[in-house]
Amino acid sequence: MDSAKCRCLWLGNVIAQVLLLTFVLLILSLKAEGGIWTPAGGPDGALVKQLAISPNYIADQTIVAISGSPSYGILFKSTNGGSSWFPLNTGNKGLDTVAFSPNYAVDQTIFAGGPVGVLKTTNGGTTWNSIMTNVYTTTITISPNYSVDQTIFAATNFEILKSTDGGMSWLNITPAGVCAGCGIGYSSIATSPNYAIDRTVFATISAPSYMTGLYKSTDGGNSWNIVNTASNTVNAVFLSPNFVTDQTLFAFSSSVIIKSIDGGTSWSVVSTGLPNGLVKSVAVSPNQTLFVGMNAMHSDWNTVQGLGIFKSTDGGISWTAVNTGLTNLEVNSIALSPNYTVDQTRFAGTYDSAGVFKSTDAGVSWGVVNSG
């Protein structure tokens, strides 16, 4: 081979290597500037909208988290108690709510909802099907007897809906008299643990309507009665896991938590020991230990935004802050292990970039669990 041809080949190799290096540097530059996005391995770096724990957590250690911006939620899953996470390909990045089937250990069913309606998976999140479209779903609640009755409750911006065939069809069960054109705002739905027998459902309606408040049904949502809570504004309702025997439930507005021990007939305020702030989330353990996540009032945001998590072991009579290790006090979601009375495990989802925290000592200390 003559020297001229060798020089040409050498020059061609140099040019190829320069072009390859330039391309690599360009890609790295775009990533650094935000021009190219890759899925995060965990729910860190953004708002954690909601957490949900598998009913079989003691065996499968599964938890899911919706993480993103207020209008952009991606579903992440962990199968080792939060030690590592991976994104689930739902085909949608606008999720707001997620719920496990009570029979998840067998049916591997999860429901997720948001601006696109309701999505369903029957293989633990590998593939998803749309079972409701063209509505903004804010809440999904599954019957404790789902394996038999296939019943799902869903709240949209305008209706409360019910399905008795696993989501194939839906019936509007919105309480009569609620302004149909006004919408129902954000609605919370809770079913009795003994729903198969007592058919009891509670639902909150917070909307620009004179029919706002807390509603109770004892026939599966066919008819409703408004429950007198001494307040027309009730954002969410939570039932004691032992509701069948203790008839205890809790509800909260923006800054007040109330409690009933007679199934909703009478109420008392149980938030007098809490700081002045906004109640963002409530979780109730089987032994009625309460956990409340709170943020500051909007008027105080110039100085402080998050107040953290507070715990009560006497049904709300007294409260204690439990924030050691919780580096972000803006708590948006709290979830307890189904076996909380034994494993003392709970998770907290926060705002901004702090992500998910976990405690295995009933909240005495917290550690961040965000990695991919």
Distance in angstroms (rounded) separating the CA atoms of residues 47 and 41: 15
Q: Is the pLDDT assigned to residue 112 strictly greater than 90?
A: yes
Q: Is the pLDDT assigned to residue 198 strictly greater than 70?
A: yes
Across 108-124, average pLDDT: 94
In the numeric block, the tokens 């993480």 are attached to 67
Distance in angstroms (rounded) separating the CA atoms of residues 361 and 348: 13
Closest CA to 255 of 235, 238, 232, 239: 235
The pLDDT value given to residue 215? 92
Closest CA to 200 of 279, 265, 288: 265
The pLDDT value given to residue 306? 86
The pLDDT value given to residue 256? 87
Distance in angstroms (rounded) separating the CA atoms of residues 215 and 222: 12
Torsion sign, CA atoms 28, 30, 36, 39 = positive
Q: Is the pLDDT assigned to residue 345 strictly greater than 80?
A: yes
Least confident range from 120-124, 151-155, 353-357: namely 353-357
| Confidence band of 190 (pLDDT split at 50, 70, 90) | very high
User: Any idea of the CA torsion for 296, 298, 301, 306, to the nearest 10 degrees?
Assistant: 20
Closest CA to 292 of 331, 328, 235: 331
Distance in angstroms (rounded) separating the CA atoms of residues 241 and 99: 16
Q: Is the pLDDT assigned to residue 7 strictly greater than 60?
A: no
Two structure tokens written together for 186: 């954000």
Q: Is 106 helix (H, G, I), strand (E, B) or coil?
A: helix
| Confidence band of 134 (pLDDT split at 50, 70, 90) | confident
Which range of 11-15, 63-67, 175-179, 202-206 scores highest in mean pLDDT? It is 63-67
Q: What is the pLDDT of residues 281-293, one digit of tens each?
A: 899 998 889 999 9
Closest CA to 230 of 213, 255, 254, 209: 213
Q: How many CA atoms lie within 13 A of 101 on its CB side?
A: 23
Two structure tokens written together for 118: 């309701």
| Confidence band of 31 (pLDDT split at 50, 70, 90) | very low
CA 286 to chain centre: 20
Q: Is 146 helix (H, G, I), strand (E, B) or coil?
A: helix
In angstroms, the Cα distances linking 348 to 122, 294, 329, 332, 354 are: 26, 12, 10, 8, 10
Across 102-127, average pLDDT: 95
Q: What is the pLDDT of residues 276-335, one digit of tens each?
A: 888 888 999 988 899 999 988 755 555 557 899 999 999 899 999 999 999 889 898 999
Q: Write b or e for each residue in 248-260: b if 16 or more Cβ atoms lie within 10 A of its Cβ, otherwise e.
A: bbbbbbeebbbbb
Least confident range from 33-37, 82-86, 252-256: namely 33-37
Closest CA to 281 of 347, 184, 200, 352: 347
Q: Is the pLDDT assigned to residue 52 strictly greater than 80?
A: yes
The pLDDT value given to residue 42? 63
Residue 185 amino acid letter: G
Q: Is the pLDDT assigned to residue 89 strictly greater than 80?
A: no
Across 204-233, average pLDDT: 81
The pLDDT value given to residue 37? 29
